[in-house]
């Protein structure tokens, strides 16, 4: 997977984690709000039970006040308290309608309060018909005791049930809150890590892109310099060949022409022989210039033969002793590869002759199953440290040629001298051919 796709995957994962964290926060907040509603609900149930207890107590006190004093105001207070009890019971049923157990308690509480109010009314009626009947009032009071106990027991059980439900809900909400906090923390940390990975991958991609753009700019600049230099060298090379043709071949032909004119005028045999000799030199000079431009042996006999011919001639002309390590047959290399290696050989030997001051050199050509390697070494004064990178057009041209062929050119200082290595990979079909030839 490329760095760009990895960065996109990390960014998408971070966004997904943040989205899931948002969902978890939403559900946790909803549950916490629901828990808060349950707390309020419990307080409402308790408050309603308190209202029922308070109304029953106020009805009992009003009944007692009326029995003791006979004041009708107590009857008004009694009726007001009794009127509140059914309303409170109905509200209590509504609050606990989702809890069957609490509904059963409500029914029992309704029955007990109804019986308790009935005894209150019977006591009031007894006081109206027989004001001095203390025994009857005492008997009614004894009947009310178990009913009051039932009412107290039922309200206590309902309060305990609500408290139990509240504690259970609070524990569940607390656990959910802890899980949510941990989930959010883990998701946040993972999201930060994914964003950091995304940033690093993007930084790597941007750095690689900047490096590639820098290399492209350098290549374009190098190509512009090389093009300009090649144009200059082309003009210089043309001037050189113009001088060579004028000074050597032109002189030979001019001398032959004069000798032929003398022979035509005077019929001197020596002039004809000299003209033939001059024409012979002209043909040889023409062949030499042609071979330097593009040796025919390279196409006809292969790199090894062309390289040997060139090295022998170069050694004779320059006086540099050359040790040759070439395979006997290198006829099956592709023409672009053979020509590229031959040009590297020419340029390397020219640099040795011009700059190294070396009296000897070594040329080695090695064939491998997947590549071909040419090494040219001199034993001269070496190369300046910056020449390996900021070299002239010769080395730059060799590098460009190797780059076009998919190969590499390496220049390394030796003790003494310099080693130039040119490596070119071979295509699969050529590899098989070379391996067979090597075997």
**Residue 187 belongs to some domain of the structure:** yes
Q: What is the CATH number of the domain that holds 174?
A: 1.20.1440.210
> Stretch 78-87: mean pLDDT, rounded?
90
Same domain, 306 and 199: no
Strand partners, 377: 362, 419
pLDDT tens, residue by residue, 94-137:
988 888 888 898 899 899 999 989 988 888 888 888 887 888 88
**Residue 416 belongs to some domain of the structure:** yes
Q: What is the pLDDT of residue 315?
A: 85
Same domain, 308 and 188: no
Between 31 and 359, residue with greater pLDDT: 359
pLDDT band at 438 (very low <50, low <70, confident <90, very high): very low
Question: Closest by alpha carbon to 160, among 101, 204, 211?
Answer: 101
Q: What is the CATH number of the domain that holds 304?
A: 3.30.565.10
Among 184, 203, 222, the domain-final residue is 203
Three-state secondary structure call for residue 141: helix
How many residues would you count in the chain? 439
**Residue 173 belongs to some domain of the structure:** yes
Q: What is the pLDDT of residue 388?
A: 47
Same domain, 193 and 320: no
Q: What is the pLDDT of residue 170?
A: 76
- List Cβ neighbours of 361 (8 Å cut-off, separation of 6 or more): 320, 321, 322, 323, 349, 352, 376, 377, 378, 379
pLDDT tens, residue by residue, 314-338:
888 778 898 988 887 655 678 888 8
Q: Token pair of 319, please? A: 């006086």
Number of domains in the chain: 2
Angstrom distance (rounded) from CA 439 to CA 437? 5
**Residue 291 belongs to some domain of the structure:** no
Judged against a pLDDT cut of 80, whether residue 56 lies above it is answered with yes
**Residue 268 belongs to some domain of the structure:** no
**Residue 410 belongs to some domain of the structure:** yes
Range of the domain at 113: 3-203
- List Cβ neighbours of 4 (8 Å cut-off, separation of 6 or more): 201, 205
Angstrom distance (rounded) from CA 44 to CA 102? 14
pLDDT band at 287 (very low <50, low <70, confident <90, very high): low
How many Cα atoms sit within 13 Å of 338 on the Cβ side? 22
pLDDT band at 434 (very low <50, low <70, confident <90, very high): very low
Q: What is the pLDDT of residue 249?
A: 62
Same domain, 318 and 196: no
**Residue 58 belongs to some domain of the structure:** yes
Sign of the alpha-carbon torsion through 377, 383, 385, 389: negative
**Residue 158 belongs to some domain of the structure:** yes
Same domain, 35 and 182: yes
H helix or E strand, kind and range, residue 418: strand 418-425
Among 203, 222, 242, the domain-final residue is 203
Angstrom distance (rounded) from CA 358 to CA 148? 128
């Amino acid at each position: 997977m490329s760095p760009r796709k990895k960065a996109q995957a990390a960014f998408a994962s971070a966004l997904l984690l943040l989205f899931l964290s948002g969902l978890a926060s939403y559900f946790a907040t909803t549950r916490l709000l629901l828990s808060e509603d349950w707390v309020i609900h419990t307080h409402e149930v308790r408050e309603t039970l308190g209202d029922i207890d308070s109304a029953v107590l106020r009805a009992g006190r009003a009944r007692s006040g009326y029995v003791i004093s006979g004041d009708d105001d107590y009857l008004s207070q009694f009726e007001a308290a009794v009127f509140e009890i059914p309303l409170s019971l109905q509200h209590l049923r509504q609050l606990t309608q989702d809890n069957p157990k609490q509904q059963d308690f409500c029914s029992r509480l309704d029955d007990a309060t109804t019986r308790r109010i009935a005894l209150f009314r019977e006591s009031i009626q007894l006081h109206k018909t027989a004001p001095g009947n203390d025994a009857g009032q005492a008997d009614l009071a004894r009947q009310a005791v178990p009913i009051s106990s039932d009412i107290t027991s039922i309200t206590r059980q309902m309060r305990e049930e609500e408290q139990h439900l509240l504690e259970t809900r609070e524990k569940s909400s607390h656990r959910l809150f802890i899980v949510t906090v941990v989930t959010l923390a883990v998701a946040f940390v993972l999201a930060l890590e994914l964003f950091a990975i995304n940033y690093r991958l993007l930084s790597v991609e941007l750095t690689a892109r900047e490096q590639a753009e820098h290399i492209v700019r350098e290549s374009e600049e190098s190509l512009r310099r090389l093009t300009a230099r090649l144009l200059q060298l082309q003009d210089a090379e043309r001037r050189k060949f113009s001088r060579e043709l004028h000074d050597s071949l032109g002189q030979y032909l001019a001398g032959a022409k004069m000798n032929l004119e003398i022979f035509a005028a005077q019929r001197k045999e020596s002039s004809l022989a000299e003209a033939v000799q001059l024409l012979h030199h002209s043909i040889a000079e023409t062949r030499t210039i042609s071979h330097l431009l593009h040796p025919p042996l390279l196409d006809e006999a292969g790199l090894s033969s062309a390289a040997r011919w060139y090295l022998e001639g170069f050694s004779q002309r320059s006086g540099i002793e050359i040790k040759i390590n070439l395979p006997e047959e290198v006829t099956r290399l592709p023409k672009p590869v053979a020509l590229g290696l031959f040009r590297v050989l020419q340029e390397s030997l020219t640099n040795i002759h011009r700059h190294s001051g070396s009296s000897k050199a070594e040329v080695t050509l090695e064939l491998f199953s997947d590549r071909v390697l040419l090494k040219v070494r001199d034993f001269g004064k070496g190369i300046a440290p910056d020449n390996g990178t900021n070299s002239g057009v010769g080395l730059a041209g060799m590098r460009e040629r190797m780059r076009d062929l998919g190969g590499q050119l390496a220049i390394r200082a030796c003790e003494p001298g310099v080693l130039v290595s040119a490596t070119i990979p071979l295509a699969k079909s050529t590899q098989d051919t070379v391996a067979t030839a090597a075997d």
